[in-house]
Structure 1
C-alpha cells in the first residue's frame, strides 16, 4: 500500500518534470538566489526551503507544506511520518500524504547529505505531530499546569533561601573580618582598611546574590515553558542558549590556557633577563670599568634597559593573550596608540632632554648652578624635571627641555675640593685707580667668613664701558648648601661697602650729561692708593 501511494505521488509530479526537455535525472529546477523561507508549524521550526522546485518559490513551497500539514493534523487518526527517496531528493510523508520535498539545493551547507537533512526534518515533523496531540489532551495540560505550579513553589522557596542566606552572611561578615583582621596585616601595618574591605565584600555578596537569582529565574522560566507544547520550543531554546554560553566560556578558558602559559613563560624569562641586566650594570658601573657608566648614570641606564626588555616581552606575549585577535582588542590598541601619539610628544621630548642631561653630566645633585635667571643648588635631576633650591629657600622645578635650551652656569664643577664659586660685580668710575678697587675687593673677600684663602680670590676687569670699568670678584666658598650661599653673598656685599667707605671710595656708576671741565684720569702718584701696594713694597711710586 505504501509503495502504491509513493507511485501516485510520482505520477502526480510527472507532467511537471518535463523529461523531454531535460536529462530526466533531476526533478527539481532550482534557483538558489531566492530568499530562504522557514517552515514553522505549531511554533516549531521544521526545515528551511532554499530552492525553487518545479517553478514554486521557497515561499510558495512553505505555504503548500503548511496547508498540507495543518490539514493532516486536523484528522483524528494516527499520523506516521516517513521519508522516501525520489531520484536525488526525498519526500517527507505525513501518513499517506505528501508534506514536502527535501532537495539537494535545500541543504545547508551545500554538498551535505540530503538524507540526513530529510531525516532531521522528519524528526522535527514527528515532534510537531506529538505536540499537536498533547495540546488537545486535557489530562496532559493539567499535568503541565501542576508541574509548573510545583516548579514555581520550589523557585520561590529557593529565592527566599538565597535572600535569607545573603542577609545572614552579611550580618556575620563584620564579626568574621574583625576576628581575622590580623591576616590583613604585614607586621604591624594593615594592608587594607577594614571599612573599605567590608564594603567590597558586601558588593561582592550582592553581585553573587543577583547572579544566583538570575540563574534560578532562567531555569524556572525554561522549565515552565517546556511543559506546554506551544511554548516548548522557547524553553528548549533557553536551555540551548545557556548551555551554549557555558560551553563557549569553558571552551574559551580551555583554549586560552596554552596562550596564557606561553605568555607567562615570556614574562618569567623577561623578569630573569631584567634581573640579570641590573646586576650586570651594577658590576660595570664600578670605577675603572666603563667611563660613561657611573653611579649617576646607573639608575637611568638600568631603567632604560628594563623598559626595553619588558617592551620586547609585551610585543612577544601580545599574540598569545586571550582576545588579542578580536576587533574589540584591536580597537582598544588603536585608541591607546592614538592617545600616546597625540599626547606623548612633549613627554618624550622632556624624557629625551632628561637623558641628555644625565649622560652629558651637565648637572649633578649638590652642585650650585645658574640656569637662565634661576640660581640655586641642584637637589634632583629627574627624567622630566630638575629641582633646584634657591638661597631664599624656594624650590624651583624646571623642565629639562628648558635647561637643554638655555645656558647653564655651573659654579661647583671647577672648584678644588668641597664648595662652589661665588662672584659679584661692581662698577666704579675711571677716576678711581683700578689697583685700589682690586685691593679693596680682595680685602672685603678676606674679611668674609666662609671664603677660602686658597685658592686666593681674584678680581677681573670684565668690561671697559663708556662711563666706568666693570670689576668682577671671583672666590671659592666652603659651604655647599644654598642657604649659606645667600647669607655669604649678603655678608660679602656688606664688607665691600664697609671697605669702600673706609677708604673714601664711593660705589657709583657715573653717567655724564656733558664732558667734565677736568679730565677723568688718575695721576701716577695715586696708582697705588691705600690699600693697594706697589710691587716693591713702597706706599707711593714717584
Structure 2
C-alpha cells in the first residue's frame, strides 16, 4: 500500500511539474524533445520576428534565483513574457521540481531557437541566444553551461539542507568557531592592555633621553595618550578582522547562507588582491623615484664640503665668500630638490590620479595668488645678500631705525636697537630705503658713533670743536685712535650745526646704546664746565649788537692754537 502511494505521489509531482513548465513556456507537455513531430509548433512559436526580440532588448534583465543562488540572467522576452515574468515563472517551476526530492539530474536539450534545461527529465528553463551576455562576448552554449553548473550547485545545496546529520555537523562547526572567536577576542583584549602598559613604561623611560633641539618634542603625558590610542586602534582593527572572518565562516556552514559567506570571503580577498597588485605594480616606479631622490641627496652631500669651506672663510670662488656662501648653498639645495621632485613626480604612485592633479592645481593657485609679494621679498633678500648691503653684526641705520644687524633671512632682516627692542624689517623696505652703515668705513675694529648739536653763532666754533672732542675722549668705549673729529655740516639761519664722529669698540647692541648715552652725558658736562649753553637760538627781532665772536675769544678754553678745521 505504501509503495503504491509513493508511486502515485511521484506521478502527481511529475504532472504538476509538467503543468508548471507548460505555464512557463506557453507550450503543451507534448513539446518535450522525445517527439519529433512536435518540433514545428515550438519552432514556429519560438521563431518570432527579430523585431520582437529587438524591442524586448530594451526591457530590464532579470536573474533567476534558486535557494539564494543566481542561476541565470534572462535578458530578452519570450512569447510575449518580459524577462522579469520569465524569471518569476522559472523560479516557480524550479522550486516545484526540487521539492519533489528527486535525484536532481540536470541535462540540456537543444530545441528550436534555444536550449532547454531538464531536471530529472522535466522541463524547467528555456535559454535564448539573447540571454547570453553580448558585452562579454558570451555565447549561448557558455551561458547554458554556466546555468547548468549553478543549477547543480543549488540542487546539491538543497539536498544538503535536508540532511540532518550534515546540519548537526555544521551547527557543531559553527559553535566551535564561535568559541574560538570569543577566545581570540579575549586574547586580543588582554594583549591590548599588556601592550599599552608596556609601551607607556617604555615611553616614560625613553623620554628622559629623547630630546629634539634641546627639549621634548611632545609632553610626556600627551605622547603616552597618543601611544595608547594607536594601540587601541590596532586592537579594534584586529577585532574587526576576526569578526569578519568568523561571520564569513559561520555563513559558509549552512547551505542557504553559504553564498553570503563566499561573497564576504571573495570581497576580502578582492580587496587584499587589489592592494597587493597595486603595490606590486607601483614598486618599479617607486624604486625609480627613490633612486632619483637618492641621487639628489648624493649631489647635495658632495657639494656640502665645498660650501662649508666657503662659510668658514678658508676660501673664495668668484663672488662667493663667507657672507654669500650660506644663501648660495640654500639656493643650490632648493634647486636640486626641485629638479628631483619634477623628475620623480611621474613615477610616484597615484601621480596621474585626480587627487594629485587637484592638489597640484591648488598649490599652483596658491603660488599665483600670493606669489607676487612672496617672490618680491625673496628677490629683495637675495639682492641684499649678494650686493653685501648688510652683514650680520654691522651697526646700521635704516629709515628711522638704528641698531645692530642680528639676522638676514630670505624675506626679512632683524636689527636690535640695544634699548630692549628687536625690529623685523621686510627686505623690500630695506632695499627701497637709504641705509647708513656705521661699520664699513672704520679702521680696524669697532663702528662709527656720531651725534649732532647746534650752538649759536656767538660761541667760537673752535671752542665747540674742542669741547666735543674732549667729551668724546671722556666716554668709555670711544677710541682715541683714530681721533674723534667734528664737522660743521650746516650754517643755518640761526646757528651752525656741529657733527661729532668717533669710533667705538663695543660689538653688542646694548653697550652701543650705552656708549651713545654716555657720550651725550659727557657733552652736557663739558659744555656746562665751560659755561656754554647748548641751545638753538631763534630771533624775533634784530639784537642791539651783532652776534659775533671777537678775535680775542677765538681760542677760549678748551680751544688751543692747534684747534682748527679738520
Q: TM-score, normalised by structure 2?
A: 0.81
CA separation in 2, counterparts of 1:66 and 1:232? 19
Match of 2:259 in 1: 233
Change (3 A) 1:477 1:66: same
Which piece of structure 1 moves more, 300-309 or 52-61?
52-61
Match of 1:49 in 2: 74
Paired residue for 1:303, among 301, 305, 330? 330
The CA deviation at 1:298 is 0.8
CA separation in 2, counterparts of 1:502 and 1:314? 73
Paired residue for 1:79, among 100, 104, 109? 104
Match of 1:514 in 2: 541
Match of 1:17 in 2: 47
Paired residue for 2:247, among 217, 221, 224? 221
CA separation in 2, counterparts of 1:90 and 1:130? 22
- SS of the residue corresponding to residue 109 of structure 1 reads helix
Check if 1:467 corresponds to 2:491. Answer: no
The CA deviation at 1:103 is 1.9
Change (3 A) 1:6 1:513: farther
Check if 1:291 corresponds to 2:318. Answer: yes
Paired residue for 2:62, among 24, 32, 37? 37
Match of 1:275 in 2: 301
Query: Root-mean-square deviation (CA), in Å?
Result: 3.7
The CA deviation at 1:424 is 0.7
Do 1:181 and 1:194's aligned partners in 2 also have CA atoms closer than 8 Å? no
Do 2:384 and 2:431's aligned partners in 1 also have CA atoms closer than 8 Å? yes
The CA deviation at 1:168 is 5.1
Do 2:395 and 2:439's aligned partners in 1 also have CA atoms closer than 8 Å? yes
The CA deviation at 1:454 is 3.6
Q: How does 1:323-342 map to 2 (within 5 A)?
A: 323-339=350-366
Check if 1:410 corresponds to 2:437. Answer: yes
CA separation in 1, counterparts of 2:39 and 2:243? 50
Match of 1:257 in 2: 283
Do 1:28 and 1:54's aligned partners in 2 also have CA atoms closer than 8 Å? no
Do 1:386 and 1:397's aligned partners in 2 also have CA atoms closer than 8 Å? yes
Do 2:454 and 2:535's aligned partners in 1 also have CA atoms closer than 8 Å? yes
The CA deviation at 1:294 is 0.8
Paired residue for 1:97, among 102, 123, 127? 123
Do 2:200 and 2:227's aligned partners in 1 also have CA atoms closer than 8 Å? no
Do 2:447 and 2:505's aligned partners in 1 also have CA atoms closer than 8 Å? yes
Check if 1:212 corresponds to 2:238. Answer: yes
Change (3 A) 1:457 1:208: closer
Change (3 A) 1:91 1:266: farther
Match of 1:313 in 2: 340
Which piece of structure 1 moves more, 216-225 or 387-396?
387-396
Match of 2:7 in 1: none
Q: TM-score, normalised by structure 1?
A: 0.84
Match of 2:470 in 1: 443
Paired residue for 2:159, among 127, 133, 137? 133
Q: How does 1:369-518 map to 2 (within 5 A)?
A: 369-518=396-545
CA separation in 1, counterparts of 2:451 and 2:237? 78
Which piece of structure 1 moves more, 277-286 or 459-468?
277-286
Change (3 A) 1:243 1:529: same
CA separation in 2, counterparts of 1:471 and 1:276? 57
Match of 1:540 in 2: none
Deviation by residue 1:166-189 (Cα, 9 ceiling, x = unmatched)? 4455566677889x9699879xx9
The CA deviation at 1:415 is 0.9
Unaligned runs of 5+ in 2: 1-30
Deviation by residue 1:259-311 (Cα, 9 ceiling, x = unmatched)? 22112211111111111233344567767743321111111111111111112
- SS of the residue corresponding to residue 479 of structure 2 reads coil
CA separation in 2, counterparts of 1:454 and 1:164? 82
Which piece of structure 1 moves more, 453-462 or 212-221?
453-462
